[in-house]
């Protein structure tokens, strides 16, 4: 039996696009290019972010939930 280190699978540092707007105090959804494809994650931010905004993943809360911040325009 081998143990898999999933740190290489982390989306932290990846750029994504908001697909479901992030409201104040709640999650939205971000589509992030990882592992040769795109994956959707629940996305949290310290401020609301609208649909189609490009963001940077800054932290991973759980396997399917991340913290994001808007990229400078």
* CATH number, residue 65: 2.40.50.140
Residue pair 68/57 in contact (Cβ under 8 Å)? The answer is yes
**Domain assignment of residue 52, yes or no:** yes
Cβ count within 10 A of residue 21: 15
pLDDT per residue as tens digits for the range 2-44: 444 444 578 999 999 999 999 998 999 999 988 788 999 999 9
**pTM listed for this prediction:** 0.84
Distances (CA, A) of 18 to 6, 35, 66: 24, 19, 12
Q: How far is CA 52 from the centre of its chain?
A: 13
66: its two tokens: 């991340």
**Domain assignment of residue 42, yes or no:** yes
Q: How far is CA 19 from the centre of its chain?
A: 11
**Domain assignment of residue 5, yes or no:** no
Full domain range(s) for residue 55: 11-70
């Amino acid at each position: 039996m081998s143990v898999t280190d999933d740190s290489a699978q982390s989306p932290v540092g990846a750029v994504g696009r908001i697909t479901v707007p992030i409201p104040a105090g709640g999650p939205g959804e971000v589509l992030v290019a990882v592992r040769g494809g795109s994956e959707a994650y629940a996305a949290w931010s310290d401020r609301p972010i609208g649909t189609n905004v490009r963001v940077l993943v800054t932290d991973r809360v759980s396997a399917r939930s991340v913290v994001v911040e808007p990229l400078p325009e």
